[in-house]
Amino acid sequence: MNSFNTVRKTSLEKWQALQASKVPIIYLGAASCGIAAGAMEILEAIEKTLEEKKIEAKIIKVGCIGPCYLEPLMDIALPGKPRISYANVTPQKVPRIIESYLVKGNPEPRLALAHFGNGNHGFPEEIPGFFDLPMLKSQVRVVLRNCGLIDPEEIDHYIANDGYSGLMKGLLNGPEKVIEIVKEAGLRGRGGAGFPTFKKWEICRNTKAPQKFMICNADEGDPGAFMNRSLIEGDPHAVLEGLLIAAYAIGATHGYIYIRAEYPLAIARLKKAIGQMREYGFLGKNIQDSGFGFDITIKEGAGAFVCGEETALIASIEGKRGMPRSRPPFPAIAGLHGMPTIINNVETLGTLPNILRNGASWYRQYGTQGNYGTKTFSLVGKIRRSGLIEVPLGMTLRQIIFDIGGGSRKPFKAVQTGGPSGGCLSEEFLDTPVNYESLTAAGSIMGSGGLIVLDDDTCVVDLARYFLDFTQRESCGKCSPCRVGSRHMVEILQRITKGEGEAEDLTKLQTLGETVKRGSLCGLGQTAPNPVLTTLKYFRPEYLMHVKEKHCPAAVCRDLIEYRVVPGKCTGCQKCVSVCPTGAITGPRAEPHNLDPSKCIKCRACYEICRYDAIAGDAIIIKSARSTVDEQTV
């Protein structure tokens, strides 16, 4: 155990030397969200400006700190002063930022977003603390505590901030005590099902076998979900330490990280982190002289959504087609290569070091009875402040969407929880506490943590079609209810969005959805109908408008609308003219424009860009040859 103390001392010295740096430090948000927003162009501008001004500074690339809508984010720390953060940075802004603060020492409020110090440290009052920003102040950062604050590619940064101390406590206490601590903490699996983590571990530990395996499920495939990817990109060692703790608890000797190949940055940082672990004695035959031996293999998945299911994931690692199998036996008894296997989600593993380091009672202070701790979510859609958040379980949807996310710009309509397998909840559910039981009772699920906010510009019928089409395409096809039932449901929804649906189709959707839920083999099929069933239940009038009036009130379904310019609202700003790909909109500046329906491809570009609501979507009168059914019979 002395070797860890030596390692920790060295890491602390390096970290303290960084904090006491005699040269400025520039932190750049370089996770996938930052890179997509232009972080690499910002990096080039920083390097060019420093060279031109002959300034010596250290540049550190960090992970996502949360508010993705502010990316690219760039922070500057002068010697002896806390970091100042700058948001929505462009290459053109970089010289002004460096000149104002790095050269003149003046963090201009019109440029700066926030600071990371305690108090104002002499900063102007207009510059708030970063974690006092509206999006951050209601959050509790447990899993994300290091993201955006440390260099994810430096193990010393992690160790200096109490990294691997949770593992060391676990090794001192023994595997049974580790399981007991996790049981007392009340940790439930963060992959979606919410099954008590310790129960699976106990079963696996008590099963006798020549070898046991530990798997990290990083196959995050939900549209709009990026919690797991962001955690790995921003703090890979937190996940790896959790993997070691879980492996030690169940008696596993080998582990796998199953991660989709579409996450190249996360994979690169994992590979580098694993190499550092070997160098520092955290992997191998005798980890930190404890007698515990463990090694890790990264398995890159091909992007099959169904491989998020445990048995399909195991089949993929074994080199087989990723298809679920019937259970029992459960993987904890007979999993990878027939050996006892535990699969935990990225966030579950990332939580473990905090529990082992701080204790079960510390963890239980967050959340509510039976739903302890925090949960990360990707907050996206028609929301003012989108990004990665972490909140205590039990916080209401209203608090998350409006207090943290700032609400929607247009009137709020619904929120889709749990990704494509979740449900679409209307405004009446805004005061629902976000926990496993409450969301299930409402007809949705927690899932891995996707929250998609919808406003009046969203057509729930089209949304249900989109999500069901996604899960239908991702179905492995092994069982008929999922393979056949979901396809028929998609076909019905497609007819409805084209104006060819009838009222009787709603009854068919309801019946098919319930059949698919009851009869499917795995979680993909059992939850696939959720978006349809919840929208049918909570937004039935919108379905009836599609099938009876052949009208899409959100002006989304192309076959049911025809766009036009509203002369009394059009200012002639020509923004719609500039984005129209077919030249359907014409007219001189400062005069109402004209829209030629024969050229319009209904791409919605003009509708989305107009700030004056001067583009309207009118219903097209469609006469169906199919017989209609009285609404009362539906």
Q: Do 388 and 266 sit in the same domain of this protein?
A: no
- State which H helix or E strand residue 523 sits in: helix 523-527
Q: Do 357 and 208 sit in the same domain of this protein?
A: yes
Is residue 221 within 8 Å of 209, Cβ to Cβ? no
Which residues sit opposite 425 in a β-bridge?
415
The dihedral built from the CA positions of residue 373, 375, 376 and 380, taken in this order, carries a sign that is negative
Residue 510 counted as domain residue: no
Q: Which residue has the higher pLDDT, 608 or 376?
A: 376
418 Cβ contact partners less than 8 Å away, ≥ 6 residues apart: 192, 439, 444, 445, 446, 447, 448, 450, 527, 530
Instruction: Give the tens place of pLDDT for each residue, 367-422.
Output: 999 999 999 999 999 999 999 999 999 999 999 999 999 999 999 999 999 988 89
Q: Do 359 and 381 sit in the same domain of this protein?
A: no
Residue 525 counted as domain residue: no
- Domain of 430, CATH number, reads 3.10.20.600
Q: Do 204 and 342 sit in the same domain of this protein?
A: yes
Whole-angstrom distance, CA of residue 422 vs CA of residue 445: 5
Whole-angstrom distance, CA of residue 227 vs CA of residue 239: 12
Phi-psi region of 394 (alpha: psi -120 to 50; beta: other; left: phi over 0): left
Whole-angstrom distance, CA of residue 350 vs CA of residue 243: 8
The tally of domains found in the chain comes to 4
Whole-angstrom distance, CA of residue 489 vs CA of residue 516: 10
Residue 155 counted as domain residue: no
**What DSSP string runs through 186-238?**
T-B-TTTT--BHHHHHHHHHTS--S--EEEEEE---STT--HHHHHHHH-HHH
- State which H helix or E strand residue 76 sits in: strand 74-77
* 133-158: average pLDDT: 97
Pairing status of strand 585-586 against strand 561-565: unpaired
Query: At 117, is the pLDDT very low, low, confident or very high (cuts 50, 70, 90)?
Result: confident
pLDDT at residue 115 greater than cutoff 50: yes
Q: Do 224 and 242 sit in the same domain of this protein?
A: yes
* 513-540: average pLDDT: 94
- Domain of 22, CATH number, reads 3.40.30.10
Residue 546: CB atoms within 10 Å:
28
Residue 308 counted as domain residue: yes
Q: Do 267 and 354 sit in the same domain of this protein?
A: yes
Q: Within its chain, how far is the Cα of 552 from the centroid?
A: 30
Whole-angstrom distance, CA of residue 155 vs CA of residue 174: 25
The confidence score (pLDDT) of residue 633 equals: 31
* Token pair listed for 71: 């990316």
Q: Do 58 and 82 sit in the same domain of this protein?
A: yes
Question: Please, is 264 exposed, middle or buried when counting C-beta atoms within 10 Å of its C-beta (0-12, 13-18, 19+)?
Answer: exposed
Q: Which of the listed residues 426, 455, 484 is the one where a domain comes to its end?
A: 455
- Domain of 293, CATH number, reads 3.40.50.11540
Q: Which of the listed residues 455, 485, 514 is the one where a domain comes to its end?
A: 455
pLDDT at residue 357 greater than cutoff 70: yes
pLDDT at residue 448 greater than cutoff 90: no
* 609-628: average pLDDT: 69
pLDDT at residue 634 greater than cutoff 50: no
- Domain limits for position 31: 17-132
Instruction: Give the tens place of pLDDT for each residue, 291-322.
Output: 999 999 999 998 889 998 999 999 999 999 99
Whole-angstrom distance, CA of residue 286 vs CA of residue 131: 41
The confidence score (pLDDT) of residue 622 equals: 52
The confidence score (pLDDT) of residue 625 equals: 38
The confidence score (pLDDT) of residue 351 equals: 98
Q: Which residue has the higher pLDDT, 303 or 134?
A: 134
Residue 460 counted as domain residue: no
Q: How far is CA 593 from CA 148, 523, 589, 598, 607, in A?
A: 47, 51, 8, 16, 13
Number of H helices, E strands in the chain: 25, 20
Q: Do 59 and 182 sit in the same domain of this protein?
A: no
Residue 2 counted as domain residue: no
Which residues sit opposite 188 in a β-bridge?
196
The confidence score (pLDDT) of residue 621 equals: 54
Whole-angstrom distance, CA of residue 324 vs CA of residue 339: 17
Residue 596 counted as domain residue: yes
Q: Do 312 and 215 sit in the same domain of this protein?
A: yes
Average per-residue pLDDT for the chain: 93
Phi-psi region of 38 (alpha: psi -120 to 50; beta: other; left: phi over 0): left
Q: Do 112 and 173 sit in the same domain of this protein?
A: no
pLDDT at residue 2 greater than cutoff 70: no
At position 159, the amino acid (one-letter code) is: I
pLDDT at residue 623 greater than cutoff 80: no
Q: Which of the listed residues 318, 334, 363 is the one where a domain comes to its end?
A: 363
Query: At 124, is the pLDDT very low, low, confident or very high (cuts 50, 70, 90)?
Result: confident
The confidence score (pLDDT) of residue 120 equals: 65
Q: Do 354 and 392 sit in the same domain of this protein?
A: no
Instruction: Give the tens place of pLDDT for each residue, 51-110.
Output: 999 999 999 999 999 999 999 999 999 998 889 999 999 999 999 999 999 989 888 899
53 Cβ contact partners less than 8 Å away, ≥ 6 residues apart: 98, 99, 103
- Domain of 605, CATH number, reads 3.30.70.20
Residue 481 counted as domain residue: no
Whole-angstrom distance, CA of residue 96 vs CA of residue 111: 9
Q: Do 121 and 257 sit in the same domain of this protein?
A: no
